Structure 1
Amino acid sequence: MGTALIAFASAFALVFVVELPDKTLVATLILTTRYRAWPVFVGVTAAFAVQCVIAAAFGGVLTLLPDQAVAGIVAVLFAVGAFLLLREGFSEQESDLDEETSAQQTVPFLRAALTSFGVLFAAEWGDASQIATAGLSAKYAAPVWVGLGAWLALVSVAGIAVLVGKKIAERIKPHLIQRVAGVVFAAFALFAAYQALFA
């Protein structure tokens, strides 16, 4: 039991510290300003669960995945996200604040949750936290405890992002948020493309 608790605590601490300043928090925050908080949280939590199960189950084998192929896929997904956000953010159809707020509320739950799942699943694939989870799983031979610790750390970071994102959405117009989010996603896409081509 002692090893299990050490594995759990190590995974939680390491992943939380790694992900707090990482793109996981930024991507979740951006999604929360675009969609309602609850479906975003459900989507990202499910994505983290799948990623942690994969990492914990396969242990060190995950580190053998080709980094350039993963980076290329992530670059494409973030580029598509940037295009969609910038297109909406710079659309000529200006509406008042009430209409913008209601537009955010009318996005179907499933659509927002699936979008959030897809974005975070792609962002986390081959990420430092997933590699760390795989490494800790191999080190402690306690995949369930390592996976649970890593998942709770990711959920904690997402919870922080959702709370912050909701506050931002209440104070800033959605078109401005979409423009900023599009630029951030484009930066992620360029960075991932650089990794795919030159890493």
Structure 2
Amino acid sequence: MGLSLFEGLTKSLAMTVLSEIGDKTFFAAAILAMRHPRKIVLSGCLSALIVMTILSASLGWAAPNLISRKWSHHITTILFFGFGFWSLWEGFTEDGEAEELAEVEAKLSADWKAEGDSSKSNFKSDDLKKQQRPFLTQFFSPIFLKAFSITFFGEWGDKSQIATIGLASDANPLGVVLGGIIGQALCTTAAVLGGKTLASQISEKMVALSSGVLFLIFGLQSFLSEAEIS
């Protein structure tokens, strides 16, 4: 059990770091931290990533209970190989870093412009505005909710989420959760503290190639190992 926990933690940690560095949510955290308090941005982004990691690992943990252990193991192996070749293809053929950074900047700039126009046209009293605020914003900062929602929906259906589901179905789910949370904390903290300068200096090509090699190693290891059929 201990070895399985450690194996799940290390695999999840390595996969998370290589998947999240230079990702859209990484750029979003870096850019948001340039305009808003870093602590609030960090707490919002990290909360979303922790929730997403737990949800993904829970789905992976439930998978062997829905289908046979043998089939879930084979599906996980195929996913690892698929993501490995996908990442290598992205690394060799795409110049995704500038495109993703520009896309995130454009999205956030449009949101900020819309917020600015809205605030200029709104002359209601503070008490009236407070009464009309959405329920969640009565308890959470709008900046926190924005960072949370951008990160959560940005990660939904992402390669790293699906890989976490597959990893949790074939490794210790608790180890996968712990490794994922540690990895997310490291990447998000680096994005928030390093800002756009750090994000723009990251080599997306090298990250994609490294993650591709890592996924292929996981796939090969999964292919060579026998699924434990209980």
TM-score computed with the length of structure 2 as normaliser? 0.53
For the residues of structure 2 that align with 1:84 and 1:21, how far apart are their CA atoms?
Answer: 21
Indicate the SS of the match to 1:21: coil
For the residues of structure 2 that align with 1:155 and 1:13, how far apart are their CA atoms?
Answer: 13
Unaligned runs of 5+ in 2: 64-74, 76-103, 121-138, 199-230
Which of 144, 147, 152 is the matching residue for 1:113? Answer: 144
Question: Residues 1-199 of structure 1 correspond to what in structure 2 (within 5 A)?
Answer: 1-59=2-60, 81-87=108-114, 110-140=141-171, 142-165=172-195
For the residues of structure 1 that align with 2:177 and 2:109, how far apart are their CA atoms?
Answer: 31
Kindly tell me: are residues 50 and 123 of structure 1, through their superposed partners in 2, closer, same or farther at Cα, counting changes over 3 Å? same
1:104 alignment counterpart: none
CA contact (8 A) 1:39 1:109 kept: no
For the residues of structure 2 that align with 1:157 and 1:20, how far apart are their CA atoms?
Answer: 6
| Alignment: residue pair count | 137
Task: Report which of the two structures shows the higher radius of gyration computed on alpha carbons.
Answer: 2
Indicate the SS of the match to 1:2: helix
How far residue 110 of structure 1 moved from its aligned partner, in angstroms, is: 1.5
CA contact (8 A) 1:37 1:166 kept: no
Q: Deviations over 1:88-108 (max 9, x none)?
A: 6899x9xxxxxxxxxxxxxx9
For the residues of structure 2 that align with 1:18 and 1:166, how far apart are their CA atoms?
Answer: 18
How far residue 162 of structure 1 moved from its aligned partner, in angstroms, is: 0.6
TM-score computed with the length of structure 1 as normaliser? 0.60
| Root mean square deviation of aligned Cα | 3.0
For the residues of structure 1 that align with 2:111 and 2:46, how far apart are their CA atoms?
Answer: 23
CA contact (8 A) 1:48 1:120 kept: yes
CA contact (8 A) 1:15 1:132 kept: no
How far residue 165 of structure 1 moved from its aligned partner, in angstroms, is: 2.1
Paired AA for residue 133 in structure 1: T
For the residues of structure 2 that align with 1:90 and 1:164, how far apart are their CA atoms?
Answer: 30
How far residue 28 of structure 1 moved from its aligned partner, in angstroms, is: 0.6
1:176 alignment counterpart: none
For the residues of structure 1 that align with 2:8 and 2:187, how far apart are their CA atoms?
Answer: 19
CA contact (8 A) 1:59 1:138 kept: yes
Q: Deviations over 1:27-83 (max 9, x none)?
A: 11011112110000111111011101110000186x9xxxxxxxxxxxxxx787452
For the residues of structure 2 that align with 1:165 and 1:89, how far apart are their CA atoms?
Answer: 23
How far residue 159 of structure 1 moved from its aligned partner, in angstroms, is: 0.5
Paired AA for residue 112 in structure 2: L
Per chain length, whose mean CA-contact separation is higher, i.e. which structure has more relative contact order (CA < 8 Å, sep 6+)? 2
Unaligned runs of 5+ in 1: 64-77, 94-107, 169-199
Paired AA for residue 178 in structure 2: L
